Amino acid sequence: MPSKTVKVAVSLPVDEYRQVEKARKQLNISRSAVITRALKCWMAASRDQDRVRAYVDGYLRDPETSAEVALFHALASESLATEAWEE
């Protein structure tokens, strides 16, 4: 079942409108498809920023200890030492 849609009027600067029109004609897609894709990308980027911010905040609240860093380095070195390397 197709999703419901809503008509929305937007105003764009002339230069951006021309660029969008040129690109959408080359891609053979509708203006609605362009705007839908742009909004989905914008919302995904916003969610990604929120995730990165939460990740950084977590490290700022609870940074790794020197012992944890040393352990990670040791494990990485051990892992690389046992890796079969091609010349």
pLDDT tens string 28-78: 999 999 999 999 999 999 999 988 999 999 989 999 899 999 999 999 998
Place of tokens 């010349």: 87
Distance (Å, whole) CA 72 – CA 10: 52
Which tens digits make up the pLDDT trace of 24-37?
A: 999 999 999 999 99
pTM > 0.75: yes or no:
no
